[in-house]
């Protein structure tokens, strides 16, 4: 495939050859000769619209907004958007400037046809067709950029089927129905995500990009681990790299560049902490490997996560549950209070999906109905080696999944004759502190059958990387979580009584809470520095595949 630049140039040459041959200079927005009438331009827009939209059709999973552009022109009877009273609206130049700065959002200006629009704007005496074409292309660029800022450039499920969040909104296309082109361009400013995290990512993206233009990566030479008291050129490399990455701020204090002192150790610990490495203050092989990750790689990682933020609603509910999968934590935001705890998430072969749900109830002393997949993959092999496994672990087995199915004696079943394909029994584990769900199950009904729950395996919360479950999310402090979501309501009394009675009870929440299960690999920390997290589910390579052309210059092939 040729480069994006070549594709766009070919399109422009075929459809708009006169525009592309014009000199590249801005002209006064008043026409030098008698201009075409708006009626003539409307007729040409009507004739050229379908052709132009087809020429700028989506490719490679990009979610462009051409249908909305078509509908907007129809609604205005094909009258031009950028030309009024025989004058090109100056806001088109502002639009081009904004589109050329789209790289600050991790987007590629080439995708918004800025070169092509500038070619049209440079024509001294444009024809009726050229004006119509320019009007449509500028509107396609406007609509596409508005969509991309609001909803993301790409269809997430075409990249990663485990990313199941719906598009944030369709309100972005309202700008196409505003009264003037000026209003449309000004509206772009409110469409990007409003979260502080997004804005911090943008600043670091700009910083890294500027740094790449000014200087090369400072690499730390491999060798024996470096620690406090060491001296030499490798220590100087370490210090310089930490300065380059922002872990050491510029200071007028004189230091011995070659000496590993306490200040350098503190900076290295900060670096290790934000890269989820053991913060021992020594530069071993893993730390040096992380230090030497190229700035260009960090730029791409930030870009992937800016896109992920655009796949989220631009504004989040003040009361919400935030399951941060790459941080192995659950944050409960409720009534201006924050409750945070560790979590265990799905192992890589049983990924916890990304989606949004609504928590409506909880269950105390739950009975665990074993999902069929876990029964075939986990229970059946254990039963084939130990026929008493169900009795020892407090399970019951039923003849089928239907209501009223008969309970069976598991010791009378020849498990070695059963295959995963023929296993149709239903398994349930009795309510007990030692059952897989512990004392609590927190429900937000969803097609994935994912929920939050207690667990008897408390030792797993001592681990740094906690991807051990079959997909559901285990909570470190389920009782604290249950108290917080039922606080100051009769549901709290209902919950505590059921725990005391050891009864299996469904407790409706006094306030339903949105639940976000989110996967981000670059996140700002409390100090405004970036955390680069382990990509436990290998989702970044999927983003690389979809967005990889960002690393190419316009003249290169992809």
Q: What is the mean pLDDT of the chain?
A: 87
DSSP-derived 3-state class of residue 307: helix
Using CA atoms, how far apart are residues 366 and 503, in angstroms rounded to an integer? 9
**Alpha helix segments (H runs only) across 31-165:** 38-55, 66-75, 91-100, 114-121, 128-151, 156-159
367's tokens: 């009975």
Q: Kindly tell me if the per-residue pLDDT of 38 is higher than 80.
A: no
Considering the candidates 20, 147, 275, 472, report the single residue annotated as catalytic: 472
DSSP-H helix ranges across 363-446? 372-374, 380-385, 389-392
Asked if the model's pLDDT at residue 30 lies above 50, the reply is no
Check residues 517 and 168 and name the one with the higher pLDDT. 517
Which of 32-41, 179-188, 307-316 is the least confident region? 32-41
Residue 500: how many other CB atoms lie within 10 Å: 9
Tokens read off for 538: 């290998």
Contact between 211 and 295 (Cβ < 8 Å): yes
Could you say which DSSP state residue 62 is in?
B
d(CA 261, CA 240): 14
> Residue 139 — pLDDT band, cuts 50, 70, 90?
very high
The predicted structure's pLDDT at residue 433: 64
Tokens 């400072």 belong to which residue?
Answer: 218
Contact assessment for residue 143 and residue 176, using Cβ atoms and an 8 Å cutoff: yes
> Is residue 251 very low, low, confident or very high in pLDDT (cuts 50, 70, 90)?
low
> Catalytic: which of 453, 479, 534, 550?
453
**pLDDT for position 224:** 95
Given this model, what pLDDT does residue 54 score?
77
Q: pLDDT grade, residue 212 (50/70/90)?
A: very high
Q: How confident is the model at residue 555 (pLDDT cuts 50, 70, 90)?
A: very low
Work out the average pLDDT over 244-268: 87
Q: Could you report the per-residue pLDDT of 1-21, keeping only the tens digit for each? A: 333 333 333 344 344 433 333
Residue 29 pLDDT > 90: no
The answer, yes or no, to whether residue 138 has pLDDT greater than 90, is: yes
Q: pLDDT digits over 471-497, tens only?
A: 999 999 999 999 999 998 999 999 999
515 beta partners: 321, 357
- Looking at residue 4, its pLDDT comes to 34
How does residue 221 score in pLDDT terms, banded at 50, 70 and 90?
very high
pLDDT category of residue 421 using cuts at 50, 70 and 90:
very high
User: How would residue 342 be classed by pLDDT, with cut points 50, 70 and 90?
Assistant: very high
Between β-strands 368-369 and 426-429, what pairing exists: parallel, antiparallel or unpaired?
antiparallel
CB 533 within 8 A of CB 522: yes
Q: What percent of the chain has pLDDT over 70?
A: 90
Domains of the chain, start order: 4-198 (no CATH), 218-293 (1.10.101.10), 312-518 (2.40.440.10)
Q: What is the pTM of this model?
A: 0.85
20 is catalytic: no
pLDDT at 524 over 70: yes
Catalytic: 453?
yes
β-strands 407-408, 329-334: how paired? unpaired
Neighbours of 430 (CB within 10 A): 14
Distance, CA of 284 to chain centre: 31
pLDDT, average across residues 403-418:
91
- How far, CA to CA in Å, does 110 sit from each of 6, 181, 493, 507, 549? 11, 22, 60, 54, 11
Range with lowest mean pLDDT among 74-78, 85-89, 237-241: 85-89
């Amino acid at each position: 495939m040729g480069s994006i630049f070549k594709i766009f140039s070919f399109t422009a040459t075929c459809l708009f050859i006169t525009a592309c041959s014009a000199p590249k200079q801005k002209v006064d927005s008043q026409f030098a000769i008698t201009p075409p009438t708006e009626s003539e331009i409307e007729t040409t827009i009507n004739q050229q619209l379908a052709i132009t939209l087809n020429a700028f059709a989506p490719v490679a999973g990009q979610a462009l907004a051409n249908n909305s552009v078509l509908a907007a022109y129809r609604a205005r009877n094909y009258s031009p958007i950028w030309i009024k009273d025989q004058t090109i609206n100056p806001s088109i130049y502002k639009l081009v400037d904004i589109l050329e700065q789209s790289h600050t959002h991790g987007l590629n200006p080439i995708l918004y046809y800025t070169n092509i629009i500038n070619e049209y704007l440079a024509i001294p005496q444009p024809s009726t067709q050229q004006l119509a074409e320019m009007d449509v292309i500028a509107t396609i660029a406007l609509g596409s950029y508005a969509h991309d800022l609001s909803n993301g450039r790409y269809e997430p499920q075409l990249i990663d089927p485990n990313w199941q969040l719906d598009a944030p909104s369709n309100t972005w296309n309202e700008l196409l129905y505003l009264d003037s082109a000026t209003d449309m361009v000004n509206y772009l400013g409110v469409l990007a995500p409003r979260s502080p995290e997004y804005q911090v990512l943008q600043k670091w993206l700009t910083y890294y990009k500027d740094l790449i233009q000014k200087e090369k990566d400072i690499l730390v030479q491999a060798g024996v681990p470096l620690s406090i008291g060491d001296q030499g050129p490798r220590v100087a490399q370490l210090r310089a790299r930490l300065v380059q990455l922002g872990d050491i701020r510029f200071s007028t204090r004189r230091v011995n560049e070659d000496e590993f002192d306490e200040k350098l150790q503190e900076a290295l610990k900060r670096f290790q902490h934000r890269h989820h490495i053991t913060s021992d203050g020594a530069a071993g092989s893993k730390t040096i490997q992380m230090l030497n990750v190229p700035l260009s790689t960090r730029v791409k990682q930030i870009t992937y996560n800016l896109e992920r933020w655009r796949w989220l609603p631009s504004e989040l509910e003040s009361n919400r549950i935030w399951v941060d999968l790459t941080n192995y934590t659950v944050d409960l935001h409720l009534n201006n209070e924050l409750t945070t705890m560790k979590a265990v998430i799905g192992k890589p072969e049983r990924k916890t999906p990304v989606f949004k749900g609504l928590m409506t109830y909880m269950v105390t002393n739950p009975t665990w109905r074993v999902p069929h997949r876990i029964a075939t993959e986990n229970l059946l092999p254990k039963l084939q080696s130990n026929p008493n496994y169900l009795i020892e672990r407090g399970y019951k087995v039923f003849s089928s999944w239907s209501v009223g199915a008969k309970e069976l004696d598991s010791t009378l079943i020849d498990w070695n004759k059963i295959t995963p394909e023929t296993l149709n029994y239903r398994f349930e584990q009795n309510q007990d502190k030692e059952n897989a769900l512990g004392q609590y199950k927190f429900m937000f009904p969803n097609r994935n059958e994912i929920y939050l729950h207690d667990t008897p395996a408390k030792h797993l919360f001592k681990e740094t990387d906690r991807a051990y479950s079959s997909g559901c999310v285990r909570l470190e402090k389920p009782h604290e979580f249950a108290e917080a979501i039922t606080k100051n309501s009769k549901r709290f009394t209902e919950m505590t009584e059921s725990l005391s009675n050891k009864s299996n009870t469904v407790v409706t929440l006094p306030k339903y809470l949105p639940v976000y299960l989110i996967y981000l690999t670059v996140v700002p920390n409390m100090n405004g520095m970036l955390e680069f997290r382990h990509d436990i589910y290998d989702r970044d390579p999927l983003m690389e595949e979809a967005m990889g052309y960002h690393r190419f210059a316009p003249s290169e092939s992809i």
